[in-house]
Amino acid sequence: MQGLTIITVYHAWLVMMFMFAAILLRLTVAIARTYRLMKIMPPGPPGLPLLGNVLQIGQLQWLRFTEWKQQYGPIFSLNLAGQLVIVLNDFETAADLVDRRSAIYSDRPRFIMASEILTGGLLIAFVSCGNLWRRLRRAAHDGLNARASVAYQPLQEKESAQLLVHMLKDPENWDVNLKRSAASMVLCGVYGWLSVDETATGFIQRITQLMKRITCACLPGAYLVEIFPFMLYLPAWTAKWKREGSKWYQHDTRMLEGVMADVGAKLRAGTSEPSFAATLIENETRWNLTRREAAWLAGTMVGAGQGSIAGSLTYFVLAMVLYLDVMRRAQEQVDEVVGRARLPRFSDREKLPYVEAMVKEVLRWRSVGPAGLPRCSTQDDWYKGYFIPKGTLIILNVWGMNRDPAYFPDYDDFRPERYLGESGDLCDPVPDTHGQGHLSFGAGKRICVGKDLANQALFINMAAMLWAFDMKPAVDANGEAIIPSRTECIDEGLVVRPVPFKCAITPRTADVPEIVAYATEAYACGEPA
């Protein structure tokens, strides 16, 4: 027995020595290659031996990137412990590479735990360019593009009225109400759910937990298998992380397939509402997606959409509290077009260019995804005399681009009129942004496929809140205004949000509750509000 113990300890010692030797060899090779290549890559900040720039980035990396942009220009290189990184900092450079050379700069780096294990290789954001990605992307685009998203507008109008109901009942918990509304609006568009009841709340919580698991798995150093891919082939009984990851994948798959089965049952019964999931089921053969692939695609849209919309609406409230003159100008246009007898509708959209500009400005002023997901170059390339090796991570510094003084001299001010022409109509002041005027939805083949649905949700919710409420700073016991911070934020992994703040949200007129109640009753009867 003692002999077996000695042998076991000896084997464990050998494994540890092998791992140490493998780490040392990998580091040595990576460091030698890195130093050789960085001599011909875009310039960047000097780093430490072995670690490179790892310790210099910090938590809010987009702020550091923007600082380095001032010194090194629109494109610079980093060395993250042997991993080469290129950061793009202006619209032209991003368009040159990510758009005009999309064949090279559209892939994703490999995320073994987050993509291959936790999500079975079915999370579209992580899927490498190939047959599966093309099928998923085509289905998502056809079901959520600008024309298709129009079908979801009646449900979004109804949900905007429900937001006002909750805000009237509990204005102090306005942030909770925005999160509920964003979740409900996404569930309406994706699954055709008409309200967020206990079942939907539980589903949203599980989706949120799923997205958090994925985010945590992407953090550097979270799992050794990312450094040593051969560990993926270890037997499950020797790797707890592998067993738990596979268990979560099976658990989440059952959840997502179950929701899709419910949508299918409603379709067969003729009781389903227009939804992305229904479109996936009806076009299953056309897009050549399995039921599991379709279920994960729909679930991904919910997970990515509800946090982004809620975060952007929170920044909208912050902007209104800080810029009361902007709020007043928007309210004047809403009152002129809509009047005071009904709620805003999508039919008013073309006549509300200032509100549309406000949507763009919220997304530019404070993007909830200031750095986006990294891409990976698939072949060696040269750009403006600089070498970009195959396998280099490509990061879009969205924060730095959206605050480019060449296009936004007063970039820290909230000014929707920057998106309006002399006649007051919408204009696009920034080239190479696909008409968005910012890069918060990304660019190239990986541009956010749900951007049109998100823009619709932001527009109708902002218009409704502007019609119904004044949003002002809260006051303390002495009657002094409590001005919220315009810069502090919380990085939740999925999105970046402002730190919690208090504000006073009050009905603009005494008849607002009555008109909102009438609107919700009309929507419940299937009539226009």
Local structure of residue 97 (DSSP, 8 states) = I
Query: What are the chain's domains?
Result: 38-524 (1.10.630.10)
Contacts of 172 (CB under 8 A, 6+ apart): 502
pLDDT digits (tens, 9 = 90+) for 249-267: 999 999 999 999 999 999 9
Q: Once rounded to an integer, what is the mean pLDDT over residues 272-283?
A: 91
Residue 398's identity, in one-letter code, is: V
Reduced to 3 states (helix: H, G, I; strand: E, B; else coil), residue 191 is helix
Reduced to 3 states (helix: H, G, I; strand: E, B; else coil), residue 327 is helix
Identify the pLDDT of residue 23.
Answer: 58
pLDDT digits (tens, 9 = 90+) for 143-180: 999 999 999 999 899 999 999 999 999 999 999 999 99
Identify the pLDDT of residue 499.
Answer: 94
Identify the pLDDT of residue 504.
Answer: 96
pLDDT of residue 219 exceeding 80, the answer is no
Q: Locate 82 and state its tokens.
A: 């042997």
Identify the pLDDT of residue 236.
Answer: 85
Question: 136-140, 284-288, 520-524 — which is least confidently predicted?
Answer: 520-524
pLDDT of residue 505 exceeding 80, the answer is yes
pLDDT of residue 477 exceeding 90, the answer is no
pLDDT of residue 11 exceeding 50, the answer is no
Q: What are phi and psi of 505, to 5 degrees?
A: -115, 115
Q: In terms of Cα–Cα distance, which of 295, 444, 297 is closest to 372? A: 444
pLDDT of residue 237 exceeding 70, the answer is yes
Q: Global pTM?
A: 0.89
Site of tokens 């698991």: 213
Identify the pLDDT of residue 9.
Answer: 40
Please report the sign of the dihedral spanned by the C-alpha atoms of residue 276, residue 282, residue 287, residue 288.
Answer: positive
Contact assessment for residue 306 and residue 195, using Cβ atoms and an 8 Å cutoff: no
First to last CA, the chain: 81
Cβ neighbours around 26 below 10 Å, total:
13
Site of tokens 């006649």: 423
Contact assessment for residue 84 and residue 394, using Cβ atoms and an 8 Å cutoff: no
Contact assessment for residue 426 and residue 353, using Cβ atoms and an 8 Å cutoff: yes
Gap between the Cα atoms of 494 and 326, Å rounded: 29
Contacts of 353 (CB under 8 A, 6+ apart): 333, 420, 424, 425, 426
Gap between the Cα atoms of 302 and 489, Å rounded: 23
pLDDT of residue 3 exceeding 60, the answer is no
Helices (H), 192-290: 198-218, 240-269, 276-282, 284-287
Task: Say how far residue 315 (Cα) sits from the centre of its chain.
Answer: 14
Q: How many CA atoms lie within 13 A of 47 on its CB side?
A: 25
pLDDT of residue 16 exceeding 90, the answer is no
pLDDT of residue 373 exceeding 70, the answer is yes
Q: Locate 72 and state its tokens.
A: 């090194």
| 27/297: higher pLDDT | 297
Gap between the Cα atoms of 232 and 227, Å rounded: 11
pLDDT of residue 38 exceeding 70, the answer is no
**For the CA atoms of the chain, what is the radius of gyration?**
25
b/e burial code for range 320-355 (CB count within 10 A of at least 16 → b): bbbbeebbeebbebbeebbeeeebbbbebbeebbbb
Identify the pLDDT of residue 523.
Answer: 82
Q: In terms of Cα–Cα distance, which of 11, 77, 73 is closest to 44? A: 77
Identify the pLDDT of residue 199.
Answer: 65
Quick one: CA torsion of 53, 58, 62, 67, rounded to 10 degrees?
-70
Identify the pLDDT of residue 473.
Answer: 95
- C-alpha pair distances (Å), 512 with each of 158, 342, 410, 502, 507: 16, 9, 36, 22, 6
Identify the pLDDT of residue 235.
Answer: 85
Q: What are phi and psi of 12, to 5 degrees?
A: -60, -40
Identify the pLDDT of residue 396.
Answer: 95
pLDDT digits (tens, 9 = 90+) for 438-459: 999 999 999 999 999 999 999 9
Identify the helix (H) or strand (E) that includes residue 482.
strand 481-482
Q: Once rounded to an integer, what is the mean pLDDT over residues 35-57?
A: 82
pLDDT digits (tens, 9 = 90+) for 92-128: 999 999 999 999 999 999 999 989 999 999 999 999 9
For all residues of the chain together, what is the average pLDDT?
89
Identify the pLDDT of residue 4.
Answer: 39
Q: Once rounded to an integer, what is the mean pLDDT over residues 489-502?
A: 88
The pLDDT confidence band at residue 365, using thresholds 50, 70 and 90, is very high
